[in-house]
Amino acid sequence: MGMYLNIGNAGFQAIRKGHYVDKSGLISFMNHTLGTKDKLTCVSRPRRFGKSFATQMLCAYYDKSCDSRSLFEDLAIGKDSEFEKYLNQYDVLYLDITWFISTERDIKNTVSYLQEQVTDELCKVYTDIPAESSLPLTLARIAESTGRKFLVIIDEWDALFREAKEDTDLQKEYLQLLRGLFKSSLTDKMIEGAYMTGILPIKKYGTQSALTDFREYTMLQPKKLAEYMGFTEKEVESLCEESGLDFEEAKMWYDGYSLARVGSVYSPNSVMQAVMNEEFGDYWTETETYESLKYYIGLNEDGLQDAVVAMLGKERCRINTRTFQNDISSMKSRDDVLTLLVHLGYLAYDSAEKEVYIPNLEIADEFKNAVEYSKWKGVSRALLDSEKLLDATLRGDAEFVAKGIDEVHSASTSILSYNDENSLSCVVTIAYYAAQREYMMIRELPTGKGFADIVFLPRKHSSKPPVIVELKWDKTARGALSQIEEKKYAGILKEYEGAFLTVGINYNKKEKKHECIIESQKILS
């Protein structure tokens, strides 16, 4: 076993010793591509979405230097009719690009250093092959001499584009290496298959991918690999049942990435941290800081700030993802930044509607942190004060609530077109941002004889009362409360006991002020 050639199965052994969610169906997919024109696969997804776990699994399964039968025979792949055919049958070349960046003192030398290190190891194994400075040429000579092809696995393939984002010469040198491996006349002779994974899709020049022979699977277009992009809802439900965690709480914290074919997808790292620690929390901050998010939203391309504030208010934003060049230094529009945030995991993408949105509470907290420490002082203050607004609502201080919503409106006037109940609903949602930890905040909830504007349903751990909010535009707050009663919105609260609050909020267009009335009522069984 070597450092790069046939690294063995120790990594996957360690993974199997923990709470392992079976993703071995990916191997079946790869087996069907080997030796075909579809043999080059690139899968991009956010940090801590299981990219390295997948590469360790593939190394363990294909590596001919070890016996991995016991690691796989009880998994889904073990039931595959071709399980034996490909098990431990290949010379596997494993390249972790972050390793080469971190071990070479000057990042500018990464590509030459990588080729030097890997070819040196190959020549020690295949002693009759002359030393070459070119990795593609070395692989070609080995394939010609032995008649055996390599399976190449590259982890964090895009690390150089992220770590040296301004060094276009280094990026071009790296792409030339990849082209030599995967887009040459010798590729079919020396490569049986390849699996690359990273955060960004393969860089585009104009509308063309730099490596056109790769089949790409991304957060925008996961296609048939959607179930391997993260944990599915069924998998998370099973983990919660095994560990005694509340599944509904898991949904609040980590759900929201909706992919075609499988529906909800969860961040694997966050879910597993919650399982291990037996509590939910912001585990995203352990792998990312809000500084990177703060930088990107701070660009404010073409009204980006407007979009972020709207999404904090639970709105969605329509985008065009096709202009993004798949790197972090060529962003020319709001849509480019929003598309990048999808690939980074900060936003979810609805492929049917072509819309982006903030997926869950964990990521919403990251946006809150980024906005609070940005130059968006008005909105930042509104988010910081949102807990006070909730407290005032629960104690029935309608004057404080009206004043607080006035301030949020004032802070976002230049951002949101404030001209109907929908924009009022967005402002109110931002004003009550902190309530998300205690409540499920549902807008336009069907109940009684219509749709309640905003309903605050207490989460299982909360002792807070339910709240029904009705909004009016240039009418009266009393009229809003009357509508709650007339249309029997309280019918949605039958499973709760005790009291609930009704909140009527009206925006007076002439005076540019909000008025509020809060009443406490008893839930009728």
The pTM (predicted TM-score) of the whole model is: 0.90
CATH 3.40.50 region(s) of the chain? 10-217
pLDDT at residue 416 greater than cutoff 80: no
Asked whether the beta carbons of 74 and 101 are under 8 A apart, the reply is: no
Q: Which of 180, 221, 195, 215 is nearest to 324 (CA)?
A: 221
Q: Which of 244, 270, 239, 243 is nearest to 257 (CA)?
A: 270
Helix axes 247-254, 268-277, angle to 10 degrees: 140
CATH 3.40.1350 region(s) of the chain? 377-522
pLDDT at residue 19 in the model: 85
* Cα–Cα distance list, 82 to 8, 30, 77, 87, 146 (Å): 21, 12, 9, 9, 25
Range 10-217 classified under CATH 3.50.50: no
Q: Which of 52-56, 127-131, 379-383, 481-485 has the lowest mean pLDDT?
A: 379-383
pLDDT at residue 147 greater than cutoff 70: yes
Asked whether the beta carbons of 217 and 251 are under 8 A apart, the reply is: no
Quick check: helix, strand or coil at residue 248?
helix
pLDDT at residue 377 in the model: 66
Tokens of 428: 């109110």
Non-local (6+) Cβ contacts of 173 within 8 A are 111
Helix axes 334-344, 290-298, angle to 10 degrees: 160
Q: Which of 31, 45, 496 is nearest to 267 (CA)?
A: 45
Ramachandran assignment for 197, one of left (phi > 0), alpha (psi -120 to 50 degrees), beta (any other)? beta
In terms of residues, how long is the chain? 525
Asked whether the beta carbons of 505 and 514 are under 8 A apart, the reply is: yes
CA angle 237-240-245, nearest 5°?
135
| 78/206 Cα distance (integer angstroms) | 43
pLDDT at residue 70 greater than cutoff 70: yes
Asked whether the beta carbons of 35 and 193 are under 8 A apart, the reply is: yes
* CATH fit for domain 377-522, picks 3.40.1350, 2.40.50, 1.10.150, 3.40.50: 3.40.1350
Asked whether the beta carbons of 404 and 427 are under 8 A apart, the reply is: no
The burial of 417, by beta-carbon neighbours within 10 Å (0-12 exposed, 13-18 middle, 19 or more buried), is given as exposed
More confident call, 149 vs 451: 149
pLDDT in tens, 445-497: 887 778 888 999 998 888 999 999 999 988 999 999 999 999 999 888 888 88
Asked whether the beta carbons of 425 and 471 are under 8 A apart, the reply is: yes
| 126/242 Cα distance (integer angstroms) | 48
